[in-house]
Amino acid sequence: MFSIRISFLHKFLCTTTMASQVMGGTRAAHVFSMLVLISFFVIAAEGAIEEYAPMKILMDEWDIRPPSWVGSDPCVGGWEGIECTNSRITSIALADMGLTGRLPSDIELLSELEILNLSFNKGLKGLLPASIGKLTKLVHLNLVGCSFFGRIPDTIGSLKQLSYLSLKNNSFNGLIPPSIGNLTKLFFLDLSDNKLVGSFPVSNRTAPGLDQLENARHFHFQNNQLSGKIPPQLFSSQMKLIHVIFDRNNLTGSIPSTLGLVQSLQAVRLDRNSLNGSVPSNLKNLSKIAELHLSNNQLTGPVPNLTNLNSLSYVDMSNNTFDVSDVPSWFSTLLNLTTLMMENTRLQGEVPQALFSNYNLETLVLRNNKINGLLDLETISSNHLQLIDMEKNFITDLKPTAGGSNYTLILVDNPICEGTNMANNYCIVSPSNSSNLIPPSNCASVACSLGQVSSPNCTCAYPYTGTLVFIFVSFSNLGDFGYYKTLQESLVSTFQSYNLPVESVALGYPTFGSSYHLELFIQVFPSGQDRFNQTGASAIASVISNQTLLRPRFFGPYSAVFPYGNSGGGGSKKGLIIGAAVGGSVLLLLLALVGVYALQQKRRADEQWSRSIPLSGISNSSASAPRLKGAISFSFEELQKYTNGFSEANDVGAGGYGKVYRGILPTGQMVAIKRAKRDSMQGGPEFTAEVELLSRVHHKNLVSLLGFCLEQGEQILVYEYVPNGDLLDSLSEN
């Protein structure tokens, strides 16, 4: 819109310059100076209205107006969730604000937008408009936890500055747009928990692909309906990926060996697909990998050799059809291993006693194999051990831990549990259910009002509540409250680093949900008040949804679910306004005049909006024709009638824009109707912007714009009719 305005003013001033050269003298200089000043006024007036217009569209669509959204300038007065630079909106952060409706295509009018965070607004639905691709300065796009559906538009590939893209937990379907491969600055890509189908797009001679995202660190595509093979071209040694999360899809074929070329990888989830073939041997070169999830596939061949992967802490390769093999020696050599799960993997032989010398071991699940002989638990080094599950094997003897143990041992359906041993706890016990664990409170019985909850610091308040879902789980010791204390402290530290009024965080109810991820109930308590206002609640949701929590390393990446409505009243959040001081007495005077004029326009903005863009809701009845900043909206049929069907008899001239026809309105007024040629038409918003501008410029030497028509594929301007020839003839004294 701004470029169109400048283009028009350039033409306007060039014409004026030509006029001054023809007219000559002082009079021409005065006219030129006056018109230059008018151009300044026009630009300044646009500033107050230009950002308000699309925001008004959003407010009407979402049926929202927070208490701080007063006045007609979003960049003045501290509109909650809105930040500006040089009086242009650069950030919209409205996480968990209870927004409903759709994301209108007019979002494209906010051309300076860099951050758009509408996460956790379940009421936002509909298609993601293709016009989002026109926000070419966008760096951060976060629509987590909304209800958008349909295809992800290909135009998203036009957002070349984008570094963060998360469309997680919506209902998007169709293919992954290959155009995402154009987003070469992308750091974080999360399209998980949708209904996407097809395979991963890779580049070819005519189309981009995900393999071009060499700067990306995160590929999150879990829980979709993706199918087909994982293309070998998707990975290369040039990539910087740390997370590859493809679990719970319908992927087939073998794991590409190129995955082993990505030396930066720290976590891989390929579980719960239909992958087959052998695990590539070069995965043992991934020296930084901490988590490897390959369970519930159809993998065959030898059990992968993970020797020397000393960063590994979590391994799950359960429920595959590997070759029958003895228990691998690397079980005992990976000293950072906390969780080892190899259920139903055709292992045999004895478990080496050295495995239990691992100081970090927490969980060992080797059930439903052919492990036999002696299980030697006499010397266990780990103080964190919680579970040893050896159910459905062929163990015949046991050396228990000296001095007793605090872990759960399961030997059900082993020969050792036959006969007189059936009464032993390890032959009848089931895994302890930790789903109702709540970290202990330091408070005694604090009496709180109805609906309030006691915080860890023993104050009563209405907390902001939700659920954190951890994608990777490199710990399984749900009963160790030290984990929760560390996470609590990290969360509080994060919130306070953003200057949010958070007193404390309570965690509880850890469960493994249907997604096979750890789900953790969270309560965030306000500081100095009994509840968060909407500003505080939205800010907390934004911090969490943007993956900026300073969580402990072993908790890994996460997602979140926050129900709307637990925050309280409204508040305010000041937008960022950056001004510039300019010297020079003449320029200062001009700026002062512009400021006065813009202030007047600001006060009239609400009334003017009813006559502003967009045009979709404008009535075309001439009896009550609405105005667009002073211009009447005519229907195409009306203009046909006024020009006798655009007859040649009413044709008074032509130009680069199109033909001009003489017309007569019902009032008897004669008008000049300028009809655009097809090859000179602009887009709807650009045409509307120019109409707004032309209708606002008034001067005794300028022909006034009276109206316009934008329907049936036409773009028509209606001017006052000037019977004495054109400006060039008058200036030339012809």
Residue list for the binding site for ATP = 674
Torsion angle of alpha carbons 231, 340, 344, 413, nearest 10°? -170
Which residues sit in the known binding site? 674
Containing 316, the helix (H) or strand (E) segment is strand 314-316
Q: Is 523 helix (H, G, I), strand (E, B) or coil?
A: strand
Torsion angle of alpha carbons 389, 395, 399, 401, nearest 10°? 0
Neighbours of 499 (CB within 10 A): 8
The one-character DSSP state at 30 is H
Q: What is the 3-state secondary structure (H, E, C) of 434-500?
A: CCCCCCCCCCCCCCCCCCCEECCCCCEEECEEEEEEECCCCCCCCCCHHHHHHHHHHHHHHHHHCCC
Residues 461, 464, 517: CA angle, nearest 5 degrees: 135
Containing 74, the helix (H) or strand (E) segment is none
Structure tokens at 487: 């996470």
CA quadruple 57, 60, 62, 66: dihedral positive or negative?
A: positive
Structure tokens at 49: 């209205």
Q: Give dist(CA 551, CA 382) in Å, integer.
A: 24
- Using the CB atoms, write b or e for 174-191: b if 16+ within 10 Å: eebbbbbbbbeebbbbbb
Q: What is the 3-state secondary structure (H, E, C) of 128-171?
A: CCHHHHHCCCCCEEECCCCEEEEECCHHHHHCCCCCEEECCCCE
Structure tokens at 48: 């107050």
From residue 270, give the alpha-carbon distance in Å to each of 220, 232, 249, 317: 11, 15, 9, 10
Strand bridging mode 651-654 / 658-664: antiparallel
Q: Give dist(CA 178, CA 323) in Å, integer.
A: 38
Phi, psi of 458 (to 5 degrees): 70, 30
Q: Give dist(CA 727, CA 734) in Å, integer.
A: 10
The β-bridge partners of 196 are 174
Check: CB of residue 305 under 8 Å from CB of residue 328. yes
What does 596-641 look like in DSSP terms, one character per residue?
Answer: HHHHHHHHTHHHHHTTSS--TT----GGG--EETTEEE--HHHHHH
